[in-house]
Structure 1
Amino acid sequence: MSFRIQAIELKVMAKKIIFRADGNSTNGLGHLYRLFSLVEIVKDSYEFVFLTHESSTNDVIPKAYPTVIIPKAIGVEEEPEWIAANLFPETHIIIADGYQFTTSYQKEIKAKGYRLVYVDDLVKDHMYADLVVNHSPYIREKHYTKEPYTKLALGTQYALLRPLFLDEATKNKTITTIDTAFVCFGGADPYNLTIKAVKGLLQISNFKTTHVVLGGAYKHEDIFALEAKHSDKLKTYKNLSEEQLIKVMQQCNFAIAPASTILYELSCVKMPILSGYYVGNQKYIYKGLSEKRTIFEGKDFRNYSVNEFEQKVKLIIESNSIQTYIDHQKSLFDGNSKVRLLGLINGLTISFRKAIEEDVLQVFNWSNDVLVRKNSYNSEPIKLENHKKWFHKKIRDENTLFLIALINNEPAGIVRFEIDDSYATVGILVSKSYRGQKLAGEFLKASAKKYFEIYSVPILAYIKKDNKASVKAFESARYTYFKDEIISGCVSFVYKLEKEDG
């Protein structure tokens, strides 16, 4: 039976990313710093602009980041209109982090035509964003109300951390001595917990040195008088770069910090940590890490006294389970969140075009990749002459839908449908450059949608039984197990997708 392959040539423009966050002495700088980590993850793959309000503490934004300032006269209600007039939806994805980006804001941004990623830690509003990232280990999907299309990325596997900390997370560490402390209470420290914690540490003879990192919005002065008095034991820092901060942390073998991004960074460096919370958005991270025995529990820090800090720290020093906590830190933060987060963002820019003559060498190189050959039923290397004959035949075959998958308009893989009277057979390949990002399932979902716009017959997928990654990818794309079959001597699963399921 012959089919006419309809055009699947959609004009899709390459996307740039708008990073949207504010920070100040009232709300702290956490929203800014979380997005800084995402900038570092995607800046080699996407053009971007950092968008912040004129009222924000903007001197902490790295000078290398292209920055756009929203005028003071523009409130949050007028903001979506202002953004759409200045940074067009056709060419931009928005990644927003901040409590002002509520249900109504998200809904309006989506109505303007943007793809939207929202970084959340309150689990409060109904979500209209395409993707919600919450890196608390406590939160589950059941905690959210959301639109059917909204995808959730939950837990420390999506930890928003800068590259040096992700690298540090992969290393092993053993603590045998506790004598050097690290203290940081975030950007603003509204309860001035820094001074209480430091005074408590000064009462404990074990500590020879205490390193104190002050946030960009820190306004208290008494810590500097204490530093002058104990200059041999106490050193303060402010506005450290990523490299400077990790070097200070690496000198330490004990820490006191709230359940915020700084706690995740310390967990990557690995040491016993006394942690608690002093604002509501820290509670979920605290609960999650407490349950996982990753931190020593400080609970509500707001009314802590100097003596309470001292007594809590002494109990930790006397504990015989410090290495257990460090091992748990290692298991929660594996250093691979960069790949996962980049995959999520790449998944928002998937498009397809039909394969053309000029793709012949690219497809040849992809097809001869070692892993591709291993998972194929014919595992022998492909000869270029044979490949060219096959390729030219397939792109002209009316019974073949041969798609090049694009990530932000760049070739990233293949999805090919061989169409027969009663079913089609699908084959998929993801470029080595994009492996590990869980894009195979996204390619399959998006391509099936295109396929069923033209055809009605179901799609079958033949998968070697030991290819567990492919099984997961097809299942994530709503394919279901159909039967077992022997293909070229290999025991295989056959998975099936019907039109009503795609």
Structure 2
Amino acid sequence: MRIAFRVDGSEAIGTGHIVRCLTLADRLSRDGHACQFVVRAHGGTPASLIEARGYPCAILPQADGEGCDELAHSRWLGTSQARDAAETRAALDGTVDWLVVDHYALDHRWQSELRAVASQILVVDDIADRVHDCDLLLDQNLQGDRDRYAGLVPAGCRLLLGPRYALLAPRFAELRAKAGAMRPDGAVLVYFGGVDAQGATLTALDALADADLGDRRIDVVVGDLNPHRAAIVEWCRLRDQAHFHGGGTDMPALMAEASLAIGAAGTTTWERCCLGLPTILVTIAENQRAGALALAREGAAIWVGDHAEISAATLAAALRTLFAAPHLAEVVASRAARLVDGHGAHRVACAMFSDAIDLRPAAADDCDRIWEWRNDDRTRRHSRDPSPVALETHRKWFTSTLSSPDRILLIGECEGDPVGVLRYDRTGDTATISVYLVPGREGRGEGARLIRTGSRWLASHWPTVTAIDAEILEINRASAGAFAAAGFSRFLSHYRCPLTPGTQSSS
């Protein structure tokens, strides 16, 4: 299947969003899926991270800051969501089976626009501050309870919540069994992400000098976009026990060998937890506060506060305390390790495809069970003709349908179980759709997925059809919502979805 990622990184955004998307892309690629990325050019855009992994990467033009909307992080996009949506659709150059969106400046308006080219949408979020139009939402944070997204996601959207879904490279799971809390001779690891514009790394280094830990090894990891890189290099050069590490560093190995870490409460948090590495947390962005507080309450990290509010002396005191009380560090490490096992990417990949809908043309032996589904009270309730159909009448209709060149009857299945029935009637360059779910499948969001999958099937198999029309009863609000989520818009007295001929089917 074809999977696209819309994500950005920059000096302001950092690199964590791109790194975790790359982790998921690696997992999906191992399963045979084709992954690609779309990023916008920002100051310090780390597209090289993506290209180094071998993924196609379309770079949208740098924005001028005009047209940003009211979202708290809209400056991260640098333009309007409408413009970004149009440019993203052009960059994708066709339809995708999944669109993964990891961006605080994009919400349901952008996502709805991309429905025309994305069969399903996965949103990766951390802050629960905007409405989404998605089929799957991932929030890997400790404070991500279901109530947090009440009213922010559509009915039928599945939620993957908590650190068990943390997107970590497979190396962390491999090293987990070998790691233990407070390795007696391990180093102190300092890492504040790929950018660290605030200079928290330098504050941590001053704290280490103040704490006077003797000749204990200090590993300092600095991203290529860190504006304080030269000063950090010089600090390390003057101290024999300090070792500077730049881009391409083997982070899992450094974490597995360390006694203690000092770092931010970003995506690296879950890597440290997986390896049972006790950590002194310093928050360097407002959106990290809730997560840091949740970890501190769980006893899985020591949070000393925001970078702007603490001093090197504060950090030095925390360092002395942990090295003077190794039992405390062991408790912190043990509680951290319980949260993450390193298999989150596998769980997310399984969730993405565990309910994928496959389509197949109806066959002769489907006749009677389709009659049973169509005659069920729940199906007839919303039919234009709610009266029961006699079995012999249905059998004649079914035989005629299978032989018609301008009518196709499709059955949607999920893991071998029937989901619903689609019928398309072709007139010229337009097809009219009729759809219903198998009784008992209601309320799972499968209607929209079935319709979207059918649209892609039709575009591939009937390339002369340029639009699909749907007639929906006014009282059938659930059906109207499913068609709207599948990319249909109100057109005169019915709903219509334009098609791009020749796009590939997902089945």
Q: TM-score, normalised by structure 1?
A: 0.67
Tell me the CA shift for residue 348 of structure 1: 6.0
SS in 2 for 1:132: strand
Q: Is 2:33 the counterpart of 1:24?
A: no
Tell me the CA shift for residue 343 of structure 1: 1.1
1:428 aligns with none
Q: Is 2:32 the counterpart of 1:61?
A: no
Could you tell me which runs of 5 or more consecutive residues in structure 2 were left unpaired when the two chains were aligned.
65-78, 371-390, 392-412, 423-433, 447-477, 479-507
Aligned residues of 1:188 and 1:215 also touching (Cα < 8 A): yes
Aligned residues of 2:156 and 2:445 also touching (Cα < 8 A): no
Pick which of 342-351 and 266-275 moved more.
342-351
Matched-pair identity in %: 21
Residue deviations 1:366-418 (CA, integer Å, cap 9, x gap): xxxxxxxxxxxxxxxxxxxxxxxxxxxxx9475568xxxxxxxxxxxxxxxxx
The 3 A distance-change label for structure 1 pair 284 and 347 is farther
1:240 aligns with 248
- Please provide the CA RMSD for this pair: 3.4
Aligned residues of 2:6 and 2:100 also touching (Cα < 8 A): yes
SS in 1 for 2:309: coil
Residue deviations 1:50-94 (CA, integer Å, cap 9, x gap): 211133232232422222222336944312222323425633421
Tell me the CA shift for residue 20 of structure 1: 1.5
Could you tell me which runs of 5 or more consecutive residues in structure 1 were left unpaired when the two chains were aligned.
1-14, 357-394, 402-420, 422-441, 460-474, 479-499
Aligned residues of 2:135 and 2:156 also touching (Cα < 8 A): yes
Aligned residues of 2:96 and 2:117 also touching (Cα < 8 A): no
Tell me the CA shift for residue 329 of structure 1: 2.2
Q: Is 2:171 the counterpart of 1:180?
A: no
Pick which of 170-179 and 308-317 moved more.
170-179
Q: Is 2:71 the counterpart of 1:84?
A: no
Matched letter for residue 292 of structure 1? E
Tell me the CA shift for residue 163 of structure 1: 1.4
1:349 aligns with 356
Measure, in 1, the Cα distance between the counterparts of 2:323 and 2:48: 38
Residue deviations 1:291-329 (CA, integer Å, cap 9, x gap): 221112222232321111100111122232222222222
Residue deviations 1:128-172 (CA, integer Å, cap 9, x gap): 122111100112111122221322211011101111123334555
- Number of aligned residue pairs: give it: 373
SS in 2 for 1:101: coil
Q: TM-score, normalised by structure 2?
A: 0.66
Measure, in 2, the Cα distance between the counterparts of 1:184 and 1:455: 51
Tell me the CA shift for residue 206 of structure 1: 5.1
Tell me the CA shift for residue 269 of structure 1: 2.1
The 5 Å alignment of 1:50-199 reads 50-55=37-42, 56-63=45-52, 64-72=54-62, 75=79, 76-88=81-93, 90-110=95-115, 113-144=118-149, 145-171=152-178, 173-175=180-182, 177=184, 179-199=186-206
Aligned residues of 1:60 and 1:239 also touching (Cα < 8 A): no
SS in 2 for 1:48: strand
Residue deviations 1:15-58 (CA, integer Å, cap 9, x gap): 30111111111221111111111111111221011211133232
SS in 1 for 2:22: helix
The 3 A distance-change label for structure 1 pair 100 and 476 is closer
Q: Which of 277, 283, 292 is the equivalent residue of 2:289?
A: 283
Q: Is 2:27 the counterpart of 1:41?
A: yes
Measure, in 2, the Cα distance between the counterparts of 1:222 and 1:277: 21
Pick which of 109-118 and 278-287 moved more.
109-118
Measure, in 1, the Cα distance between the counterparts of 2:15 and 2:108: 22
Measure, in 1, the Cα distance between the counterparts of 2:120 and 2:336: 34
Aligned residues of 2:97 and 2:118 also touching (Cα < 8 A): no
Measure, in 2, the Cα distance between the counterparts of 1:458 and 1:195: 59
Q: Is 2:234 the counterpart of 1:225?
A: yes
SS in 1 for 2:138: strand
Aligned residues of 1:198 and 1:210 also touching (Cα < 8 A): no
Matched letter for residue 72 of structure 1? Q
SS in 2 for 1:339: helix
Tell me the CA shift for residue 455 of structure 1: 8.9
The 3 A distance-change label for structure 1 pair 67 and 234 is same
Q: Is 2:418 the counterpart of 1:447?
A: yes
Tell me the CA shift for residue 112 of structure 1: 5.2
Pick which of 35-44 and 316-325 moved more.
316-325
Q: Is 2:215 the counterpart of 1:210?
A: no
